[in-house]
Amino acid sequence: MASTGDSKDKVLERLASVLSNSSRSKSDIRFLLQMLSTTADLSEGNSSSLDIKIASSAINEMSRAFEMFAPYRETRKVSIFGSARTTADNPIYAVTAQTAAALAEQGYMVVTGAGPGIMEAGMLGAGRANSIGVSIRLPFESGANSVIAGDEKYVSMRYFFTRKLMLVKESHAFLCLPGGFGTLDETFELLTLAQTAKSVPVPIVFLEVPGAPFWTPLMKSIEPLLIDQGLISPSDTSLYTITSSVSEAVSIITGFYRNYHSIRFVDDELVIRMNRPIPEQAFKAVQEEFAWIAEGGVIRQMQATSQEIQDNDVVSMARIGLRYTPKGFADLRGLIDAINVF
């Protein structure tokens, strides 16, 4: 009689045969088989019913969210974080709507938790066509706000961790407004991911209202404490910008992508993709200024790598490459700012 392991191997072999006839890349097929193998392992191990339920629900709702975001993959998006308790007569509500409207005019979509307060303000400003909602199911909230309810660009999720994963994965910038524990949780997770290089570099803007500061006193109380005790580096404060100006907030976000496009690690090299190449003489100055962040001091202009070509990953764009051991993206921010000069 065949063992369970033998049965699993035969099932995976059949699935591999089916997947080999699909349009998926070899890399995709490998990861799909790995996921299926892990699923089979759950049935054989000591996982509880709750463990299996959590894993199943998480994969299911991520799959639905992936499908929802897929048509907008090439559109830049800004996630807006802020309190669900903010009322429409609060000045920060109008500021949020104004900022979202200005970003929509620049071709950005906004992503929010689809609830009331700041989330609703962002969607009102951007408009339904430029809004995406990723809500969390809570017993004391009634569902999506009227701007996005019933729209195909709205998905409801059970778990905070899957919701935050989608917001971080799909967004190219973050606009953080005043809020409570939930907003602070989202904001500090963003900073943690950037500090530890577990995300990609993105602009993070803390927006407040003139005469009613929120982020300024909060961060002024936290920063010296953390820096003085050696818990963060002084350069970590460059990961975010505090402003009370709508135009500055929009400029920071859009300016981040003036020339910089994206990054990708290929083996042990960090590849920075750009909309335009840096002129040769100017690039020498960039090399000299930022040699200290590259292993061996080498930063080079380059063509797309073979892996990028295989994946058809923005192959036509200009590139620079460096060996960069990511201790965080604070040091890399200066290089991105220099790239955006050109």
For residue 1, the model assigns a pLDDT of 38
| % pLDDT > 90, the chain | 77
Burial class (CB in 10 A: 0-12, 13-18, 19+), 78: buried
For residue 246, the model assigns a pLDDT of 98
Q: Which two tokens stand for residue 58?
A: 């998480």
Range in 30-34, 221-225, 245-249 the model is least confident about? 30-34
Residue with the larger pLDDT of the pair 339 and 37? 339
For residue 297, the model assigns a pLDDT of 92
Q: How confident is the model at residue 232 (pLDDT cuts 50, 70, 90)?
A: very high
* pLDDT at residue 28 tops 90: no
| Mean pLDDT value across residues 273-286 | 96
234 DSSP β-pair partners:
none
| Mean pLDDT value across residues 35-62 | 88
Beta carbons of 39 and 58 less than 8 angstroms apart: no
Beta carbons of 5 and 43 less than 8 angstroms apart: no
| Mean pLDDT value across residues 72-76 | 95
| Mean pLDDT value across residues 276-297 | 94
| Mean pLDDT value across residues 218-239 | 95
| Mean pLDDT value across residues 215-224 | 97
For residue 330, the model assigns a pLDDT of 84
Question: Which contacts (CB < 8 Å, 24+ apart) does range 211-218 have?
Answer: 212/91, 212/92, 213/244, 214/178, 215/176, 215/178, 215/242, 216/242
Q: How confident is the model at residue 3 (pLDDT cuts 50, 70, 90)?
A: low
For residue 60, the model assigns a pLDDT of 94
Q: How confident is the model at residue 152 (pLDDT cuts 50, 70, 90)?
A: very high
Lookup result for tokens 């973050």: 174
Q: How confident is the model at residue 139 (pLDDT cuts 50, 70, 90)?
A: confident
The answer to whether the predicted template modeling score (pTM) of the entire model surpasses 0.85 is yes
For residue 2, the model assigns a pLDDT of 44
| Mean pLDDT value across residues 89-95 | 97
For residue 326, the model assigns a pLDDT of 62
295-341 residue pLDDT tens? 999 999 999 999 999 888 999 999 999 998 766 788 899 999 999 99
5-14 residue pLDDT tens? 567 777 778 8
Q: Which secondary structure element, helix H or strand E, spans residue 282, and what is its range?
A: helix 280-290
Q: Which two tokens stand for residue 133?
A: 């909602």
Beta carbons of 79 and 163 less than 8 angstroms apart: no
Between CA 122 and CA 200 the distance in angstroms is 24
